[in-house]
Homo-oligomer: A and B are copies of this chain.
């Protein structure tokens, strides 16, 4: 039986970003990622030595944990599957199991779009988040294949780009220009600073060679103000939504919320 490394199963909480921003949801965070973004805020689900220590669960075991949460703390109909990269695994049984158990349950998936899996077409919303230059990823263009596949299946898709600086913003513009019919979310990068608001290098960043790519003098709300003021004067971005990470504003970078 196939097993999946699981970093976190938690909720209810509020989705902090993108299409479902502000909406109650449960979360499944799988471990393992084919990317290693410098500012990753979920290093515990990405770094190989940490992922190797995660419990490996079957779809049934994951559902059991979700149902245990939902049965005692009834609330959201949404389950958000994030990572790491959920598209590394076969999660179709988790999706169908949740939708059935939660009665009209809905599933959202977050992925950078580097890998496709056919179970993704059964999901109610795919948030594809191509990684901008500040991530240090050079294979971030692969999401275009994902978008073509999603389009072929008429899967519901939104795009979300995290922006830390002007170079990232230009990347976001290019993505939105190419997929201008796809709902688009600009998200300000917050990394590990939490409520203190100041950038703290992630473990991935600390391990990387070279100087920091991100100016540490800006708080989360400073970043949000800058991103909002940049986008609102940009005719190309007239129809996007610019959002902070609401969960970070509310709870900081604490796991399990």
Contacts and interface: CB of A to CB of B under 8 A. Distances in A.
B249 A221 contact: yes
A200 B155 CA distance: 47
A192 to B, nearest CB: 18
Contacts of A23: 239-242
A77 interface: yes
Contacts of A52: none
A14 interface: yes
Interface string A63-92: 000000000011111100000000000000
A204 interface: no
A243 interface: yes
Contacts of A76: 232, 238
B232 A12 contact: yes
Interface string A170-206: 0000000000000001000000000100000000000
Contact of A244 (B195, B237, B246): B246
Contacts of A250: 221, 224-225, 228
A2 interface: no
A97 interface: no
Interface string A3-30: 0000000011110000001111000000
A254 to B, nearest CB: 11
A231 interface: yes
Nearest to A251: B225
Contacts of A210: none
Contacts of A238: 24, 75-78
Interface string A214-256: 0000000100110010011111011111111010011100000
A74 B235 contact: yes
A20 B8 CA distance: 31
Nearest to A235: B74
A237 B12 CA distance: 12
Contact of A241 (B21, B195, B242, B244): B21
